[in-house]
Structure 1
Amino acid sequence: MNTPAPSVWKQPAQVWAVAFACVVAFMGMGLVDPILPAIAESLEATPVQTELLFTSYLAVTGLAMLVTSWISSRIGAKKTLLIGLALIVVFALFCALSGSVDAVIGFRAGWGLGNALFISTALATIVGAASGGSGAAIVLYEAALGLGIAIGPLLGGILGEQSWRAPFFGVVVLMAVAFVAILLLLKGADEKREPVPFSAPFKALGRPALATLAIAALFYNIGFFVLLAFSPFPLGFGAMGIGFTFFGWGVALAITSVWVAPILMRRMKRTSIIFTVLPLLAVDLVVAGLLVGSATALVICIIIGGLLLGVMNTVLTEAVMEATDLPRSVASSAYSAVRFLGGAMAPPIAAALWHGFNATVPYLFAAAAVLIAALTVLIGRKALAHIDDEAVDAAEDAQAILLGDAA
């Protein structure tokens, strides 16, 4: 008699506490999107200054990724999660109370540090506590990721209709609830891991396969964040319109990341998917640039971009996991650090190109960066040949999916 498989949705309270915190953490990435024009107007900031809200957040998140495994392996998962959440609460509150765009930029950097500490530990904690094995944990994590990416811009739009400060206050409340939930419900997560050497992620980037994928991800993320962070300006919508647009973008990204990418990987080599999707993304960005004067056309391009980005997020992460024999947490930390830096530089460059030329040029710049990412993989194809040889085991892949999909 066959024993029925345990339900993914029947989990201990501590798992739901971490999953809820994951949703809120990923909401933070798109939360400021709908209020960028309002911040620029209220604080008398230039578009370049406003885009630095993404740069400070992503740059610190990326750099901190290089040391979070070293920290959490020494103080334990629960303490790392709580410190990360506490930092997000504090710096989100400071953002809400700020009187200048420079202050918000600085406090977003502190938010990025908290975000890195949290997301680098959350899935490992879910995997250890979830019933039904790592497969159930990954489903829960991907669901939290998709919800966060989709809800963030929508919530930002709804609250942003009241004030540009309101979304930041919203994060404070939600993250404070998450902090209390983890403090009270998460048990048995403080066993210290085997200490990870401080130098491990830096040495990992010396591996040709991992270095190739990291460089490709840096340029790919330029395309990702030009679409996400620059598009609110040429759209010309209010906070609610931008929120709905990027809610659709997030839903599209979540669908292809969770469901479409795995189907494609069962039928195609990972490198073949990369060589197919990246040129399609470049075409989408070129069309967005050429039709930027039409809000309807730009919305359509943003949604299509979300579909393509979801596939690329998952496939690149899986490729990183097959690239080396390094511990997966080390490989993904090194890769994610470089990838986030690409996202950090993209928004202010896009705003500067817009100011210096017109709204078409930033999208052409993004398309060129995406093609460079494809070219990087093509040049390094020999070093990457083995990533197509065997499927990634879901249990081993948990930590990597966490770090790779988070950007």
Structure 2
Amino acid sequence: MWRQPKNVWTVAFACVIAFMGIGLVDPILKPIADELGASPSQVSLLFTSYMVVMGVSMLVTGWVSSRLGAKRTLMLGLVVIILGAGLAGFMDGVPGIVAFRGVWGLGNALFIATALATITAAARGSVGQAIILYEAALGVGIAAGPLLGGLLGSFSWRFPFFGVSALMMVALAGVALFLPATPPTGHRSSLSAPLRALRHPALLTLGITALLYNFGFFTLLAFTPFPLDLSAHAVGLIFFGWGILLAFTSVVVAPWLQRRVGTRRGILLALLGFAAILVVMAVWTDSKAVLATSVVVAGAFLGINNTLITEAVMKAAPVERPVASAAYSFVRFSGGAAAPWIAGTLGERVSVHLPFYVGAATVLASALLIAVQHRRLAHVDDHVDAHGSRAEAEVLTAADA
């Protein structure tokens, strides 16, 4: 599995950098607010713009890649990330940073939606081994983002943005040099296909579940740095631990749990565990030790849920799996993008405890939806038949992890 050609390692490296963007700004949220005189709700828009643009863009990534081919789509995504991250670092006000963070989200959508298919097509060994390689890149990126953000952010809040832009230039050069030309293949994807897929009740149920769950997820990600009130480096270390545990459970624990209790029950257990963690954070918001420990432990439940719910999406509707993935990503990212702003507003205007209570309530609502709609989701635990490989299902499981 580890003896791969240069083009696979090039895309895998670019994946690491792309996934860094999810948690990179966590450690610098408070420094940005302090230096630019912004409130938590204003700074939280760095997450909102990033996620809403990425969510909406998921509707067009298939349309773009089916016309440009994988290599050109990857390079286009990388160029957009370079511009978005680099220009965000030059801004002197929150509105400008928010705007270019949205540009970054567009680039991420184009890149991430294409990278998995590229790795699985070019990697040596089985498809399942290619998935492990992709998951490893995902985990390293999610874990390293807060660490890099904290390290560079200890010098200036601008440096993490410049750092990502510089690393993406290296990734762009690697893709241009080492990835063979990939002309468009197959039929051209329709812009309306993901929206039509949401007519299927099971897929819509999972999308709404993810939307509700994302309220808790982005409350944890975007609001916790404010009550923690620690240095950028310290916050980066805490979220580094969160990312490591998330990566471990998504790759190792989620498949183990799925084999023992099934996909739907595994999702339910993960959601209930995450809701409990948010309640703990709501009660003991004034304790930095409790908040820090809860953030790290939450990574375990988030990793399990990310893997299992995405695999369920792939089996939820009788549509092409990339179409199902795009429809699901559109609902969960664009719908859940309001959570960071809502959490920041509640925390600064009502109570510092309230965002975590609201996050816990929405995650609990997502668990109840899964429990109530069990008949519509029963087929997600069906085994892949003899003509469909299990590894093929896992390919698309990783796409939204």
Pairwise TM-score range, normalised by the shorter structure: over 0.9
Q: CA deviation at 1:53?
A: 0.2
Query: Match of 2:50?
Result: 57
1:47 aligns with 2:40: yes
Unpaired runs of 5+ residues, structure 1, are 1-7
Equivalent residue for 1:396? 392
Distance 1:208 1:298 in 2: 37
Residue 291 of structure 1 is aligned with which of 281, 284, 287? 284
Structure 2 residue 33 is matched with structure 1 residue 37: no
Identify the residue that residue 121 of structure 1 maps to in structure 2: 114
After TM superposition, the structure 1 = structure 2 runs for residues 228-243 of structure 1, keeping only pairs within 5 Å, are: 228-243=221-236
The residue identity in structure 2 corresponding to 1:238 is S
Query: What amino acid sits opposite 2:219 in the alignment?
Result: V
How many angstroms apart in 2 are the aligned matches of 1:388 and 1:397? 12
CA contact (8 A) 1:123 1:398 kept: no
Q: Deviations over 1:122-154 (max 9, x none)?
A: 010001100002112101100000000000000
Match for residue 267 of structure 1 among 260, 265, 268: 260
Corresponding residue number in structure 2 for 1:10: 3
1:285-322 per-residue CA deviation (whole Å, 9 max, x = no partner) reads 00011111111111111111110000000010111111
Indicate if the aligned counterparts of 2:310 and 2:398 stay in contact, CA closer than 8 A: no
Q: Post-superposition shift, 1:110? A: 0.6
Contact kept in structure 2, 1:84 and 1:113, CA below 8 Å = yes
Indicate the residue corresponding to 1:180 in structure 2: 173
Which of 290-299 and 334-343 deviates more? 334-343
- Partner Cα separation in structure 2 for residue 68 and residue 402 of structure 1: 17
Q: Deviations over 1:47-81 (max 9, x none)?
A: 11100000000000000001101110111000000
Q: Identify the range of structure 1 (348-357 vs 161-170) with the bigger mean alpha-carbon deviation.
A: 348-357
Specify which of 331, 334, 341 is matched with residue 327 of structure 2. 334
Q: Structure 1: how far apart are the matches of 2:36 and 2:397?
A: 37
The equivalent residue for 1:216 is 209
Q: State the Cα distance separating 1:171 from its structure 2 match.
A: 0.4
Paired amino acid for 1:72: S
- Per the alignment, residue 302 of structure 2 pairs with 309
Query: How many angstroms does 1:379 deviate by?
Result: 2.6
Q: 1:291 & 1:161 partners in 2: Cα distance? A: 27
CA distance in 2, matches of 1:219, 1:259: 25
* In structure 1, distance between residues paired with 2:54 and 2:399: 11
Partner of 2:315: 322
Alpha-carbon distance, 1:399 to partner: 5.1
Whether the 8 Å contact between 1:88 and 1:110 is mirrored in structure 2 is yes
- The counterpart of 2:269, out of the listed 273, 276, 287, is 276
State the match for 2:69 in structure 1: 76
Partner of 1:365: 358
**1:31 aligned partner, one-letter code:** L
Matched, 1:101 2:94: yes
Residue pair 1:120, 1:402 contacting (<8 A) in 2 also: no
Q: How many residues align?
A: 398
1:395 to partner: Cα distance: 3.6
For the Cα contact (< 8 Å) 1:329–1:399, is it kept in 2?
no
Structure 2 Cα separation of the partners of residues 367 and 209 of structure 1: 23
- In structure 1, C-alpha distance between the alignment counterparts of 2:244 and 2:110, rounded to whole Å: 26
Query: More deviation in 234-243 or 333-342?
Result: 333-342
8 Å contact kept, 1:34–1:243: yes
Preserved CA contact (<8 Å) 1:328 1:396: no
Cα distance between partner residues in 1 of 2:191 and 2:336: 24
Secondary structure, in 3 states, of the residue corresponding to 2:191? coil
| More displaced stretch, 355-364 vs 123-132 | 355-364
1:117 and 1:50 mapped to 2: Cα distance?
25
In structure 2, the CA distance between the partners of 1:399 and 1:195, relative to structure 1 (3 Å rule), is farther
Instruction: Work out the CA distance in 1 between the residues paired with 2:27 and 2:229.
Output: 11
Q: Separation in 2 of the partners of 1:82 and 1:191?
A: 14
C-alpha root-mean-square deviation of aligned residues, in Å? 1.2
Note if contact 2:66-2:184 (Cα within 8 Å) is conserved in structure 1. no
| 2:192 equivalent to 1:199 | yes
Gaps of 5+ in 2: none
The one-letter code of the counterpart of 1:73 is S
CA shift at 1:236, angstroms?
1.0
**Distance of 2:230 and 2:267 partners within structure 1:** 33
Instruction: Decide which of 120, 124, 127 is 1:134's aligned counterpart.
Output: 127
Identical amino acids, percent of aligned pairs: 51
Q: Is the 8 A contact 2:89 2:158 kept in 1?
A: yes
**Equivalent residue letter for 1:310:** G
Give the AA of the match of 1:404: D
Looking at structure 2, the residues matched to 165 and 341 of structure 1 have their Cα atoms a distance apart, in angstroms, of: 26
Q: Where does residue 22 of structure 1 map in the other structure?
A: 15
CA distance in structure 2 between the partners assigned to 1:339 and 1:320 by the alignment? 12
CA offsets 1:241-295 (integer angstroms, 9 cap, x no match): 0000000000010010010000111111111112222112111100011111111
Partners in 1 of 2:117 and 2:38 — Cα distance? 40
Give the Cα–Cα distance (whole angstroms) in 1 for the partners of residues 262 and 382 of structure 2. 8
Distance 1:398 1:180, change over 3 A: farther
Q: 1:95 to 1:397 in 2, by over 3 A?
A: same
CA distance in 1, matches of 2:276, 2:394: 32
Question: For residues 189 and 397 of structure 1, do their structure 2 counterparts lie closer, same or farther at Cα, with a shift above 3 Å needed?
Answer: farther
Query: 1:343 offset after TM fit, Å?
Result: 3.4
Q: What is the TM-score of this pair, normalised by structure 1?
A: 0.96
Alpha-carbon separation, structure 1, partners of 2:338 and 2:68: 32
Between the aligned partners of 2:394 and 2:158, the Cα distance in structure 1 is 35
Task: Indicate whether 1:246 and 2:242 are aligned.
Answer: no
1:87 to 77, 80, 90: 80
The whole-number CA distance in structure 2 between the counterparts of 1:73 and 1:290 is: 49
The answer to whether residue 160 in structure 2 is matched with residue 164 in structure 1 is: no
